[in-house]
Structure 1
Amino acid sequence: MHGERLDAEWVRSRWKQADTALTKLMQSFLPTHGFPPGHNAVMLATHDSHQATGAFVDLTPIPSDLTTLYWVISEASLPDVDSGYFIHSPATAAEHFREYGLAPIKDESIALVFASDGGGHLIAIGDSGQVWKSATASWSDDFEVAASSMQEFLEQLGRRIANQL
C-alpha cells in the first residue's frame, strides 16, 4: 500500500475488528497465562484529541497518514500484545517532538515518533509514509523499516492480537 493514503473508514473498520479480538483475548488471558491482563484498549478520537492533533499539525508538518490515524484513534495501550504496543496520543507525540525533535532517520526529511513497544523501542512514521522502529530503546539509534505504510503497520498489529487468541 506504499504511496496510497490511509483511509479513515478503513481505520474505523480495523478498530472494530481489533476491539472484538481484544475482548476475546482479555477473556482468555487469565486462564491462558495464569495472571490477569493489564489494561488493553484502543481509544477512539474525541473532540480533545482532535484539538491536540490540530495543535500538533500547527507545531510541525506531520505525515497525512498520522493525521488520519489520530482523527479516528486517539491512542492505544496494548501491554499484553506480544511484549506490548502503545500508540501515543497526539498530545504525547507533540510533547516528545518538542523535547526530542524528529527521529533521526536518513532519507526522511520528517520522521515523527508516534508509538513504542514494551521494550522501549520507538516507532516513527516518515514523510515517505514508511513506519520505522528503533533498533534499541533510544531516540538517537538506528531505525529500521517496520512497515511500508501505516496501513501495513496497523494490519501487523491486528495480526499480533489475533495470533494470541
Structure 2
Amino acid sequence: MSERSLSSAWLSSWARAVSGVLGEMTEEFESRHGFPPGTNQMRLADHGDQETVRVLGSEARASADLVTFYGSIGEVSWEDVGNGYFIHPPRDVLEHFAVYGAVRAGERQEPCGLVIGSNGGGLSYVVGPEGSVHRTRAASLDDAELDRVADDLRDFLQLLEQSLARFVATGEPGYL
C-alpha cells in the first residue's frame, strides 16, 4: 500500500472533518441563502454497501481505493454545495456498470472506468482502474470526453473537502 492509498483511518479522519464543516454550513444555510438546506450528508457504509463493494471489486474490477472507500463511506450527498456534489452509493455504481458497462477513462482505449458520482450540473465522475478520477465535459456519457481532475481518490476527496470549505467561506465551490 502506498502512502497515497486510502485507509479506513484516513477516511474516518476525512469524514469527521467534512461532517463538521457540513454541520456548520447547514446551521447557517437558511440565514445566508434565504431558503432551507436540502440533503447535505455523508452516509457511512452499512452491511449492504460492504456486500455490494465486494461484487464491484470482483466483477467491475474497481480500484483498491474505491473498494476501501465504499467499505467505509456509503454515499456522499451535498445538494447545496454549489450545484451539488454526489458520490453515488455502491449499488448505484454496480447497477450503472451492469446496464451500461465501463466508461473509457484516462489513456486506455478500452472501457475500464466506473461512474461513481455526479454534480448537480449533470457532469459525471469516473474512476479509472488505477484510481485516477475524471469528470465528463458534458452531461452525456455516450462517447464522453473526460478531463482528469485527480490523480487518485484521496486527491479527489481532498478537492471535495476544499470545495466545501470554499463554499462555506465564500459561497463559491470552485471548479470541481
TM (norm. structure 2) is: 0.88
- The corresponding residue for 2:95 is 95
Partner secondary structure for residue 114 of structure 2: strand
Q: Kindly state the Cα deviation for residue 40 of structure 1 after the two structures are TM-superposed.
A: 0.8
Task: Tell me if the contact between 1:105 and 1:142 (Cα under 8 Å) persists in the aligned partners.
Answer: no
The answer for unaligned runs of 5 or more in structure 1 is none
- The corresponding residue for 1:150 is 153
- The corresponding residue for 1:62 is 62
- The corresponding residue for 2:135 is 133
- The corresponding residue for 1:114 is 116
Give the alignment's Cα RMSD to 1 decimal. 1.5
Does residue 30 in structure 1 map to residue 30 in structure 2?
yes
Q: Kindly state the Cα deviation for residue 52 of structure 1 after the two structures are TM-superposed.
A: 1.2
Q: Which has the higher contact order (CA 8 A, sep 6+)?
A: 1
Task: Give, as a single letter, the amino acid of the residue that structure 1 aligns with 2:164.
Answer: I
Partner secondary structure for residue 148 of structure 2: strand
Q: Work out the CA distance in 2 between the residues paired with 1:119 and 1:42.
A: 20
Q: What percent of counterpart residues are identical?
A: 31
Structure 1 residues 3 and 15, CA gap change in structure 2 (3 angstroms):
closer
Q: Which whole-Å deviations, capped at 9, do the CAs of 1:13-37 have from their partners, x for residues lacking one?
A: 0000000000000001001111111
Number of aligned positions between the proteins = 164
My pick for the range that moved more, 26-35 or 56-65, is 56-65
Q: Kindly state the Cα deviation for residue 3 of structure 1 after the two structures are TM-superposed.
A: 8.3
Q: Work out the CA distance in 2 between the residues paired with 1:142 and 1:105.
A: 9
- The corresponding residue for 1:164 is 167
Q: Kindly state the Cα deviation for residue 59 of structure 1 after the two structures are TM-superposed.
A: 2.2
Structure 1 residues 150 and 106, CA gap change in structure 2 (3 angstroms):
closer
Q: Kindly state the Cα deviation for residue 70 of structure 1 after the two structures are TM-superposed.
A: 0.2
Task: Tell me if the contact between 2:39 and 2:77 (Cα under 8 Å) persists in the aligned partners.
Answer: yes
- The corresponding residue for 1:124 is 126
Partner secondary structure for residue 137 of structure 1: coil
Task: Give, as a single letter, the amino acid of the residue that structure 1 aligns with 2:58.
Answer: D
TM (norm. structure 1) is: 0.94
Q: Work out the CA distance in 1 between the residues paired with 2:75 and 2:42.
A: 6
Q: Kindly state the Cα deviation for residue 106 of structure 1 after the two structures are TM-superposed.
A: 4.7
- The corresponding residue for 1:41 is 41
Q: Work out the CA distance in 2 between the residues paired with 1:162 and 1:12.
A: 18
The answer for unaligned runs of 5 or more in structure 2 is 169-176
Q: Kindly state the Cα deviation for residue 132 of structure 1 after the two structures are TM-superposed.
A: 0.2
